[in-house]
Chain A
Amino acid sequence: MSARGNGAARERALTASLLTRTPLWRDAEQRARRLSGGRTDDAADATRMADDYRMLAHDLARARTLMPGTRTREYLEAAYARAHATLHHGAWHAGSALLVLARDEIPAAVAELMPYIVWSTVIFVLTVAAGYALVHRYPELIALFASPDLIASVEHGRLWTQGLLNIVPSSVLSVQILANNIVVSLFAYCAGFFFGLGTLYILGLNGLMLGAVFAFVGQHGLGGELLAFIVPHGCVELSVMCLSGAAGAAVGEALVRPGQASRSESFRVAALRSGKLLVACALLLVGAGFIEGFVSPDPRFPLWSRVAIGVVYWIIMLALLSGRLIPRARAPADGA
């Protein structure tokens, strides 16, 4: 028999011996399915999974050489991938994940994003001042920033927020407001993908509108009333605007200046890091939405209570962002 014939016979024999292990692969695959689907918590199954993983790796390596274009190899690839995913899937519990997020990850993200938060706040404040100055100097420009209804209402000496609760119930108003604010906040973050320009635009536009409306309302002697309306929810809502802007700016800078990593890798890291801050923003906006629906338009709340609510909620926000809201459990003392 020629050398080529010997080689072919040897290959067939090896293939046949490999394929005698088919029942083992089937068992391993079914075990991985059971474990990954959460249909078993049998410790013996879990222990055997580690052996299965090694066995599948060994047999897959042989199959890749002996029968590269076959379904057997495809089957082994899939079984091995499933075993890999099953073994490498960490334990996850919603409660502990949320606790870690609120206690550790959000404060860490805030610390990392601090320069962006400072710059976003500066930009926002500057655009508020610019909007104020523009409308203060050229009152007719308010038409660029506010709706005709709002303008007409203010010109007749009343804020558009007066009597709001006679039209829409607080609960509905709250949900509408918080849903809108969360979408704006998420969009400010996602728009960072456009090299940060989208975020800058959203931040700037919101700042200009706020400043312009304040200037316009002030010209009609309603500045104090507007401030009283905004204080309870606005302290947190405007801060969240700056936080979302910071998250978007971080995403934008990762694309503009990726540093040592590739642009896509840098974008991924920045998006995941900033995303944690967005969870805090969304939670804070839910609270702000309810305050805006139930407290801000209700004339029964005096100014001092409005200021108190606004300041307390803002302090809660600071505590959450700095990690003081949920302190870490103290490690037991040595020898205790």
Chain B
Amino acid sequence: MSRNAPDLAVDSVTGIDVSLAVAGPGARSYAFIVDWHIRLVLALAWYTFGALIYNGRLSLAAPASPPGGWFALVVLPAAAIYFLYHYVLELAMRGRTPGKRLAGVQLVARDGGAPNAGALLTRNVFRLIDSLPLCYGVGLLAVTLTREHLRIGDMAAGTLLVYEGGAALPAQFNAAGTLDAAGMEIVQELLARWPSLEPGARAALARQALARYAPGDDGGVSGPDADEALRQRLERLAGV
């Protein structure tokens, strides 16, 4: 999660503000590229399917002077998928799209809630400006230059792209031990990842953790049983 971007602080009736980390240009671009591929593939799939059905043979070619049926069955649905993808999904998924979900971001209004239909429509209409002159040049420039990483559509609609929080909770906390909460999380996470780490890497990490949180208990472990001994020391430190 980017820590360079500012947080959006939303006042709440409880007196404790809601804090949302604003997504930067990287997460935004990642989400857009994923979504762009999805809508392109869906639109092309529909076009292919529709053309095959319409032509009744293995041909994707449009008729010489396309009749209304060709547009209604093949062109319009494909165009609708491509151009309405963002609006429809953001409305249905409350500020999310598959790309945004993959990038771990979501759209919110200034009050921290999901944007309404009007705001989403305005945001998507302003893609006409953001996409100028090509490859979202204006939008990218705006995202890079603004403090809250907003493209023009976001400014118009009053929306922001923020990170969806999803941190895991620590298993337990030993109040009688010497570790603080942050140290407890680090040691517990290291223990949880222990089987998946290379022996050399986990030994180095364990020594660093012991040196930091149990200075008197970090050395003197070597030999073939060192790996197991380090794990036991970490478990003792975490009170597991």
Q: Which residue of B118, B121, B175 has the most chain A CB atoms within 10 A of its CB atom?
A: B175
Q: Does A70 sit within 8 A of B, measured CB to CB?
A: yes
Other-chain residue from B12, B114, B166, B182 in contact with A67 (beta carbon distance below 8 A): B182
The B interface is mostly helix, strand or loop, or mixed, namely loop
Inter-subunit contact A272/B12 (CB<8 Å): no
Interface string of A17-42 (1 = CB under 8 A from B): 10100100110000000001000000
B-binding segment of A80-88, A216-224, A325-333: A80-88
Chain B residues within 8 Å of A16, by CB? 173-175
B194-239 interface (Cβ within 8 A of A): none
Interface string of A156-193 (1 = CB under 8 A from B): 00000000000111111001000000010011011101
B18-70 interface (Cβ within 8 A of A): 18-20, 65-68
Interface string of A137-172 (1 = CB under 8 A from B): 000000000000000000000000000000111111
Instruction: Please judge, given known A-B contacts A74-B167, A84-B113, whether A12 and B180 are in contact too, CB under 8 Å.
Output: yes
Instruction: Please judge, given known A-B contacts A16-B175, A80-B16, whether A271 and B122 are in contact too, CB under 8 Å.
Output: yes
* Cα–Cα, bound, A183→B105 (Å): 29
Inter-subunit contact A71/B185 (CB<8 Å): yes
Q: Does B157 sit within 8 A of A, measured CB to CB?
A: yes
Chain B residues within 8 Å of A324, by CB? none
* Cα–Cα, bound, A248→B12 (Å): 35
* Cα–Cα, bound, A191→B156 (Å): 12
* Cα–Cα, bound, A265→B164 (Å): 25
Inter-subunit contact B182/A22 (CB<8 Å): no
Inter-subunit contact B182/A268 (CB<8 Å): no
Inter-subunit contact B125/A15 (CB<8 Å): no
Inter-subunit contact B18/A278 (CB<8 Å): no
Inter-subunit contact A88/B68 (CB<8 Å): no
Inter-subunit contact A167/B156 (CB<8 Å): no
* Cα–Cα, bound, A92→B158 (Å): 19
Chain A residues within 8 Å of B170, by CB? 19, 70-72
Inter-subunit contact B67/A15 (CB<8 Å): no
User: What band does the interface of chain B fall in when counting residues whose beta carbon is under 8 Å from A?
Assistant: 35 or more
What distance in Å separates the Cβ of B108 from its nearest Cβ neighbour in chain A? Answer: 7
Q: Does A75 sit within 8 A of B, measured CB to CB?
A: yes
Inter-subunit contact B156/A272 (CB<8 Å): yes
B-binding segment of A52-60, A125-133, A297-305, A312-320: A52-60
Other-chain residue from A11, A57, A275 in contact with B15 (beta carbon distance below 8 A): A57
Q: Which residue of B10, B158, B169 has the most chain A CB atoms within 10 A of its CB atom?
A: B169
Inter-subunit contact A22/B118 (CB<8 Å): no
A87-112 interface (Cβ within 8 A of B): 88-90, 92, 94, 97, 101
* Cα–Cα, bound, A189→B67 (Å): 32
B59-113 interface (Cβ within 8 A of A): 65-68, 71-72, 76, 94, 108, 111-113
Q: Does A61 sit within 8 A of B, measured CB to CB?
A: yes
Q: Does B145 sit within 8 A of A, measured CB to CB?
A: no
Inter-subunit contact A15/B180 (CB<8 Å): yes
Inter-subunit contact A80/B113 (CB<8 Å): no
Other-chain residue from B14, B117, B126, B169 in contact with A72 (beta carbon distance below 8 A): B169
Inter-subunit contact B185/A72 (CB<8 Å): yes
User: What band does the interface of chain A fall in when counting residues whose beta carbon is under 8 Å from B?
Assistant: 35 or more
What distance in Å separates the Cβ of B62 from its nearest Cβ neighbour in chain A? Answer: 11
Inter-subunit contact B112/A275 (CB<8 Å): no
Chain B residues within 8 Å of A71, by CB? 167-170, 185
Q: Does A79 sit within 8 A of B, measured CB to CB?
A: yes
Q: Does A77 sit within 8 A of B, measured CB to CB?
A: yes
The A interface is mostly helix, strand or loop, or mixed, namely helix
Chain A residues within 8 Å of B119, by CB? 272
Q: Taking CB as reference atom, which chain A residue is nearest B138?
A: A193
Inter-subunit contact B67/A81 (CB<8 Å): no
Chain B residues within 8 Å of A259, by CB? none
Q: Does A335 sit within 8 A of B, measured CB to CB?
A: no
* Cα–Cα, bound, A168→B129 (Å): 32
Other-chain residue from B68, B111, B129 in contact with A193 (beta carbon distance below 8 A): B129
Chain A residues within 8 Å of B181, by CB? 15, 19, 66-67, 70, 72
Q: Which residue of B108, B119, B158, B177 has the most chain A CB atoms within 10 A of its CB atom?
A: B158
What distance in Å separates the Cβ of B70 from its nearest Cβ neighbour in chain A? Answer: 8
Inter-subunit contact B16/A61 (CB<8 Å): yes
Q: Does A78 sit within 8 A of B, measured CB to CB?
A: yes
Inter-subunit contact B94/A36 (CB<8 Å): yes
Q: Does A267 sit within 8 A of B, measured CB to CB?
A: yes
Q: Which residue of A11, A36, A190 has the most chain B CB atoms within 10 A of its CB atom?
A: A190
Chain B residues within 8 Å of A187, by CB? 128
Q: Which 6 A-B pairs have the closest CB atoms?
A: A78-B165, A16-B175, A171-B68, A271-B156, A67-B181, A57-B14
Known contacts A74-B165, A78-B164, A175-B76; can you find 17 more A-B pairs with CB under 8 A?
A12-B175, A26-B169, A53-B14, A57-B12, A70-B182, A74-B167, A77-B19, A81-B20, A84-B113, A88-B112, A89-B114, A172-B66, A189-B125, A271-B122, A272-B157, A275-B118, A276-B118
